[in-house]
Amino acid sequence: ASEDLQVYLDFAISLAREGAQLILEGSKARYVSQGMVVSKSDPTDLVTETDKKVEEVVKKRLKERFPQHKFIGEESVSNGEVLVLTNEPTWIVDPIDGTTNFVHGFHYVAISIALTINKETVVGVVYNPFLNELFTASKNSGAFLNLSTRLPLSHPHPPLPLPSSLSHCLVLAEYGHDRTPHVIDKKTMSIYNMLTRPGDNRWGDSGKKAGLVHGVRSLGSGALNLCTVAKGQADLYWEVGPWVWDVAAATLILEEAGGIVVDAYGPDEGPADFLGRRFLGVRAGSPVPGDKTGRESQLRLAKEMWDV
Ligand code: LIP
């Protein structure tokens, strides 16, 4: 990493560790029974005292250390701060990504810290204290698990070639918090199309192609879904609905691990718009003959996803 980026990365790691300590302490509280968990805009969008405490601490430390930098945090926006991403250096923080998991003791929970410059993530840290997995990346310097293991992983499973078709993929997809019937109908239709054979479409002939993926999984955390794809343990992550704080850090981690993140609706081949709330990540993999970087193969899978 360049010297500056290394300073930012080290600071982000120390913040993630401090936040993680509070998350572990907070996990001892019996949130549901003590009424310490409340809903935000949607009844299933939960927030706990721990989310608020972690964000407060991280925000304070960042203000002290980098007073000129901007800050975007999930709970600050919930409390009425306006969500604008400018070209200024901006720290984007999700104190707990996977709050529902946190409340239920399902250990896919992470603190996510990103620094963007010119609206691009240059440093990303995602830390799951329950599984003790620290994912880090800085621009052009690769992505790592627990600081020393380069992503994608090559142990214990040797890396598989990237499937040439969606029909051989393991996909991570989420339902999200918005349970409005037409939103859920659209999402379940896309997931149905991923799961079924062409021609099986019980939703009517929408003209869309169906897939036959090997499986669909949901970890309940956009950040950890992207990091799982960065590890190479799943082929794709597809979600409509995540906020910028869910994905800003993990996007860089996946890209530095050789993957791509694009708009889940396509067909724009550029990076996904951080505020667009539609993300499709594809992992790195041995490229098919003639595709030196693997990008062509990744975009081929993305195109199939855009069609479901
Ligand atoms: C979560 C996201 C996830 C989404 C969940 C939830 P939170 O973030 O990371 O991608 O499917 O519904 O929004 O609210 O736990 O920070």
Q: Active-site residue 99, yes or no?
A: yes
Please work out whether the CB of residue 235 comes within 6 Å of at least one atom of ligand 1: no
Please work out whether the CB of residue 222 comes within 6 Å of at least one atom of ligand 1: yes
Please work out whether the CB of residue 139 comes within 6 Å of at least one atom of ligand 1: no
| Number of domains composing the chain | 2
Domain that holds residue 241: 166-307
What number does the ligand 1 atom closest to the CA of 177 have? 12
Q: Are strands 133-138 and 149-150 parallel, antiparallel or unpaired?
A: unpaired
Provide the Cα torsion 262, 268, 271, 274; round to 10°: -80
What's the farthest any 2 CA atoms get from each other in the chain?
59
- The last residue of one of the domains, among 117, 150, 183, is 150
Please work out whether the CB of residue 48 comes within 6 Å of at least one atom of ligand 1: no
Residue 159 lies in a domain: no
List all residues 6 or more positions away from 234 whose beta carbon is below 8 Å from its beta carbon. Answer: 170, 171, 172, 217, 225, 228, 283
Domain of 282, CATH number, reads 3.40.190.80
- Mark whether 245 and 272 lie in a shared domain: yes
Please work out whether the CB of residue 99 comes within 6 Å of at least one atom of ligand 1: yes
> What is d(CA 113, CA 127) in angstroms, rounded to the nearest whole number?
9
**Predicted local confidence at residue 1, as pLDDT:** 62
Q: Active-site residue 49, yes or no?
A: no
- Mark whether 23 and 126 lie in a shared domain: yes
- Over residues 26-48, the mean pLDDT reads 75
Residue 127 lies in a domain: yes
- The last residue of one of the domains, among 95, 123, 150, is 150
Q: Which of 55, 75, 174, 246 is catalytic?
A: 246
Q: Active-site residue 228, yes or no?
A: no
* Percent of the chain residues past pLDDT 90, beyond the cut: 70
Residue 210 lies in a domain: yes
**Predicted local confidence at residue 165, as pLDDT:** 87
- Mark whether 297 and 172 lie in a shared domain: yes
Of 75, 174, 178, 219, which is best to mutate to test ligand 1, by the most ligand atoms within 8 angstroms of its C-beta? 174
- Mark whether 144 and 203 lie in a shared domain: no
Residue 161 lies in a domain: no
- Mark whether 22 and 122 lie in a shared domain: yes
In which band, very low, low, confident or very high, does the pLDDT at 32 lie, cut at 50, 70 and 90? low
- Mark whether 180 and 146 lie in a shared domain: no
Q: Active-site residue 13, yes or no?
A: no
- Mark whether 135 and 190 lie in a shared domain: no
Give pLDDT tens digits for 123-158. 999 999 999 999 999 999 999 999 999 999 998 888
Give pLDDT tens digits for 190-214. 998 888 866 555 555 555 555 689 9
- Mark whether 235 and 261 lie in a shared domain: yes
Of 78, 100, 229, which is best to mutate to test ligand 1, by the most ligand atoms within 8 angstroms of its C-beta? 100
- Mark whether 221 and 100 lie in a shared domain: no
Q: Active-site residue 25, yes or no?
A: no
- Mark whether 143 and 172 lie in a shared domain: no
Among protein residues, the one with the nearest Cα to ligand 1's atom 4 is 176
Residue 155 lies in a domain: no
Please work out whether the CB of residue 97 comes within 6 Å of at least one atom of ligand 1: yes
ipTM of the complex: 0.94
Q: Active-site residue 304, yes or no?
A: no
pLDDT at 30 over 70: no
> In a 3-state reduction of DSSP, which class is residue 115?
strand
> What is d(CA 9, CA 116) in angstroms, rounded to the nearest whole number?
12
- Mark whether 91 and 130 lie in a shared domain: yes
- CA–centroid distance, 242 to ligand 1, in Å, is 6
